[in-house]
């Protein structure tokens, strides 16, 4: 998507052979980047002044000041809002017979899905924001500016003339789009508006659709899909665009697929007219024939601003409105003529939101499920070329597929969150005299199951129990085992069983009942048609660290601790002097072997001692071929935590795990810290 505030169709990135005319730098993704960008652009202007390309004095100073403001705004957007490092390019463009000399700045970030911010964003009553309405400061200083989306980059550019400030205000109409770049950065020309040059449709359409597919497919939020769709269409293929999504009376329409349609976004090549256009459109989409198959349906733009049905295209009969609904129904889908002509308002002076336009509506749907309506328009009464209408139809199919995928993901993530809340305790207990802190970070795959934890009182005698477990695998089968194990552990502990006995009985219960439950879950996943689990293969097994703590009755801050590990990473004990040692002995996983007698280990948790319990999401965190706990890496980090609180220890370990590799953790991460309190005084 590109947007400009000038009336020139000349691209702002012509190739330059003289390296002295281009300055480029990489900026870190932190708050120091804007200041570095300002210094860099001032140095570039000083360098060009020294070469004689710029006259010194107030002209160069004014240009340097304006450029510093612009790059500061753009780099701030990149590192703060997009959250990535940034690339800054400054280019001096010498004057030609078509263009005056100018300074062009380009700021690229590595998050092409992020919206551009920096100015006021409007929102409707539901809280849905209009994306891409910011950068008013940049628009006021630049002759023209725009955004270019690539598969792996988003570039915001601005063109600043060298002298004079006779610039159109931000509200000026964008009369001609810049030539968009293709999926790999190559330049392609946009389809001509008001002329018969349709060669672009055959040359540039495949690259446009490929790039659009890449951008849309990576979105997991339907509103962001709609926002990108509008930015890709305007002003490349249309002067105006609006998108409604069905469903969404509750929760902004995420994943419901039911309820009233809502207007997600409105785009206009003149951003000052977006607000009036939204008011003119209202919240209801145009009515489309029930037989509409996603092809273009001519409608009035904006629908409902004048009484009566639209003039039928090509003299055909107009479709009738449905009683009780506002809006104007379009004619039934027609075979594509040389130009698909939409109904438009009568000639004559009209307000900006009701100016003559050719409008086409496309139903968004997948597999017979209606998802919404896409409405596009071009200024003036001329017909939309059939080739362009067909290209928008192909684009609309990709939008519908992306919206459908985003809704499926949202439904899955919602189900997973609800299930996860049911599997895990709402809060962990606080053991008297023992400082307790938990860190739990589920993986980003949106699948329930995996790690589980609990800290709870276990009846009389001041006993407290804690657990940290990890079910093999993930998904519904793992969730079944998690849903069985935690309540069983609580029940067995409150019945008075010792640590080793609790693990013995849980092992037997898993072998008896979890097999059947997990097989049932496997059949549910396969729709009742799968073979279940192979003969002799256990459904799910789990690793578990389970223990009980009895605070010292003397109140000196110490505690008596008994624990056992079943296939789980061994806990580590940190002494106040910084020494670290592993506790307990490794034993077989639960749910694998029958007739196992699990052994426990008892020790005193002295005042100031810290017990660290983790899952394999910590110890097996990978960076290339290495794991975090290779060569006792976890113990080395823990030894440097002497003197920290339980929370301080947990946060230090968590930060070390995240910093171990450049990519986010791919597994659930859970760690529990128990620290015996120090006696008063």
Asked if residue 438 lies in contact with residue 650, where contact means CB atoms within 8 angstroms, the answer is yes
Asked if residue 539 lies in contact with residue 477, where contact means CB atoms within 8 angstroms, the answer is yes
- 18 exposure class (CB count in 10 Å sphere: 0-12, 13-18, 19+): exposed
Q: What tens digit of pLDDT does each residue of 94-144 get? A: 777 767 788 899 998 876 444 444 443 333 333 333 333 346 778 778 888
Report how far apart, in Å, the C-alpha atoms of 204 and of each of 85, 111, 225, 340, 596 are.
30, 24, 22, 21, 68
451-457 and 434-441 as β-strands: parallel, antiparallel, unpaired? Answer: unpaired
Which of residues 155 and 565 earns the better pLDDT score? Answer: 565
Query: Does 36 have pLDDT greater than 90?
Result: no
- Work out the average pLDDT over 470-483: 77
Q: What tens digit of pLDDT does each residue of 576-586 get? A: 999 999 999 99
Tokens of 443: 């993986």
At residue 114, φ and ψ (nearest 5 deg) are: -75, 145
Please give the full DSSP string across 595-629, using - where no structure is assigned: S-----EEEEE-TT-EEEEE-HHHHT-EETTEETT
Query: Does 345 have pLDDT greater than 80?
Result: no
Percent of the chain topping pLDDT 90? 28
Is the CA virtual torsion 60, 66, 67, 72 positive or negative? positive
pLDDT at 322: 35
Which of residues 166 and 659 earns the better pLDDT score? Answer: 659
Q: Picking from 151-165, 209-223, 235-249, 656-670, which range would have the lowest pLDDT averaged per residue?
A: 151-165
CA 562 to CA 601: how far, in whole Å? Answer: 5
Q: What tens digit of pLDDT does each residue of 217-239 get? A: 878 889 999 998 998 888 888 88
pLDDT at 93: 84
pLDDT at 49: 82
- Work out the average pLDDT over 656-668: 89
CA 617 to CA 628: how far, in whole Å? Answer: 10
Give the up-direction half-sphere exposure of residue 628: CA atoms within 13 A in the CB hemisphere: 26
CA 393 to CA 205: how far, in whole Å? Answer: 12
Please give the full DSSP string across 31-76, using - where no structure is assigned: TTHHHHHHHHHHHHHHHHHHTTSS-TTHHHHHHHHHHHHHHHHHHH
């Amino acid at each position: 998507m590109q947007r400009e505030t000038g009336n020139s169709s000349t691209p702002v990135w012509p190739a330059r052979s003289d390296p002295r005319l281009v300055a480029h730098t990489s900026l870190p993704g932190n708050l120091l980047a804007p200041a570095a960008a300002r210094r860099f652009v001032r140095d570039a202007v000083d360098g060009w002044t020294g070469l004689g390309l710029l006259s010194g004095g107030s002209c160069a100073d004014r240009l340097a000041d304006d450029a510093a403001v612009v790059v500061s705004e753009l780099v701030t957007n990149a590192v703060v809002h997009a959250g990535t490092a940034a690339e800054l390019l400054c280019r001096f463009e010498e004057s030609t017979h078509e263009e005056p000399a100018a300074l062009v700045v380009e700021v690229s970030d590595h998050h092409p899905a992020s919206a551009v911010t920096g100015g006021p964003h409007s929102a409707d009553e539901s809280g849905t924001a209009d994306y891409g309405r910011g950068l008013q400061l940049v628009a006021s200083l630049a002759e023209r500016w725009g955004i270019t989306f690539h598969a792996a980059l988003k570039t915001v550019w601005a063109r600043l003339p060298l002298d004079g400030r006779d610039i159109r205000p931000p509200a000026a109409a964008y009369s001609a789009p810049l030539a968009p770049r293709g999926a790999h950065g190559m330049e392609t020309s946009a389809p001509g508006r008001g002329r018969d040059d349709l060669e672009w449709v055959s040359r540039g359409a495949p690259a446009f659709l490929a790039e659009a597919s890449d951008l849309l497919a990576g979105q997991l939020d339907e509103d962001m899909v709609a926002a990108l769709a509008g930015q890709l269409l305007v002003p490349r293929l249309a002067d105006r665009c609006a998108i409604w999504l069905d469903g969404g009376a509750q929760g902004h329409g995420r994943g419901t697929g039911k309820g009233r349609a809502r207007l997600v976004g409105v785009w206009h090549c003149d951003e000052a007219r977006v607000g009036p256009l939204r008011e003119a459109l209202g919240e209801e989409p145009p009515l489309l024939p029930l037989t509409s198959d996603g092809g273009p349906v001519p409608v009035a733009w904006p629908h409902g601003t004048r009484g009566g049905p639209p003039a039928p295209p090509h003299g055909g009969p107009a479709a009738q409105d449905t009683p009780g609904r506002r809006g104007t129904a379009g004619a039934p889908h027609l075979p594509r003529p040389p130009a698909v002509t939409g109904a438009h308002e009568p000639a004559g002076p009209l307000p900006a939101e009701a100016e003559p336009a050719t409008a086409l509506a496309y139903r968004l749907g997948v597999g017979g499920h209606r998802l919404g309506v896409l409405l596009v328009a071009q200024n003036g009464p001329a017909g939309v070329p059939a080739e362009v209408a067909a290209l928008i139809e192909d684009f609309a199919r990709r939008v519908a597929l992306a919206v459908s995928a985003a809704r499926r993901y949202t439904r899955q993530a919602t189900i997973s969150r609800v299930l996860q809340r049911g599997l895990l305790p709402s809060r962990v207990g606080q053991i008297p005299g023992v400082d307790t802190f938990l860190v739990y970070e589920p993986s980003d795959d949106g699948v329930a199951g995996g790690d589980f934890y609990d800290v709870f009182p276990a009846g009389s005698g001041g006993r407290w129990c804690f657990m940290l477990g990890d079910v093999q695998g993930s998904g519904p089968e793992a969730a079944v085992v998690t849903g069985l194990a935690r309540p069983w552990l609580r029940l067995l502990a409150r019945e008075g069983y010792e640590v080793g006995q609790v693990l013995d009985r849980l092992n037997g219960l898993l072998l008896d009942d979890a097999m059947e439950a997990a097989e049932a879950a496997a059949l549910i996943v396969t729709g009742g048609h799968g073979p279940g689990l192979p003969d002799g293969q256990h459904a799910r097994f789990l690793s578990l660290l389970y223990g009980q703590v009895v605070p010292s009755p003397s109140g000196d801050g110490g505690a008596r601790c008994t624990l056992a590990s079943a296939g789980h990473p061994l806990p580590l004990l940190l002494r106040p002097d910084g020494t670290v040692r592993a506790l307990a002995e490794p034993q077989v996983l639960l749910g694998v072997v029958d007739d196992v007698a699990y052994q426990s280990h008892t020790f005193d948790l002295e005042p100031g001692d810290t017990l660290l319990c983790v899952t394999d999401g910590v110890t097996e965190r990978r960076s290339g071929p290495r794991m975090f706990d290779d060569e006792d890496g976890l113990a080395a980090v823990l030894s440097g935590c002497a003197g920290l609180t339980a929370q301080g220890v947990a946060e230090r370990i968590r930060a070390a795990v995240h910093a171990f590799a450049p990519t986010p953790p791919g597994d659930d991460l859970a760690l529990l810290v128990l620290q015996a309190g120090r006696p008063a005084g």
